[in-house]
Amino acid sequence: MPVTTLRRSTNSKTKLVLISVSALIILLVALYFLAHKSTKPTSFESPHPGFIYVKHLIPNLKLEMRYCSTNNFTGRKVQGYINPVCILSVKAATALEKVQRDLNKMGLGLVIFDAYRPQQAVDSFVKWSKDSRDKKMKKQYYPNIAKKDLFPQGYIAAKSSHSRGSTLDLSIIDLKSGKKLDMGSGFDLFSKKSWPDYPELTAQQRANRLLLRSLMTKHGFNTYPYEWWHFTLKDEPFKETYFNFPVK
């Protein structure tokens, strides 16, 4: 066999081997991702038109989604909360990213307790409030107020701004330690201690609340007079719509 013919044959075989190896690698990679496919939403998914999984936009956001656990004022996982994910309107999430960016420069970050809340969850709160026998979480969350007074005093509502998708409950953490800043009261404590301007705070507690409020208002959120952790985007996109798709 001539040398040139031998070289062509060898080159062809080498190319075939390389193509086969490349195809095998691609196949193995595809099989790996299929085998490890997550059941959680991917970055290409949206929970609902106009909404976003906030962790996709703010990866270092800490989530402590209370209503998807038993650590809340009802003492049980709330109807409509399937997975502990944070959902907001795209507009609200975009504004929140700016808050996180400012805090990160200080070695701080946000922790989210609740965001979008389906109407079915709100309805379950109404039902819970009418059961006077259920006082399981009274000592921790509403020690000095009767359940029947939670609605008249503005702590719970039959229609919640959370269901419009641009309201959220949050606080600040130290990124190094992972600990929450001392705000003078815990999340969802139905008490005057939770009012943003409650006078009997230490200087540090007052400063921590002021930091959260100033950054949230700087980036377009309104405060709420009864809860230091509660903020609503001023120019929210769904002002008249109360959504009911589940948190999952």
Active site residues: 227
Phi, psi of 222 (to 5 degrees): -95, 150
Q: Is the dihedral of CA 163, 164, 169, 175 positive or negative?
A: positive
| Bridge partners (DSSP) listed for residue 53 | 87
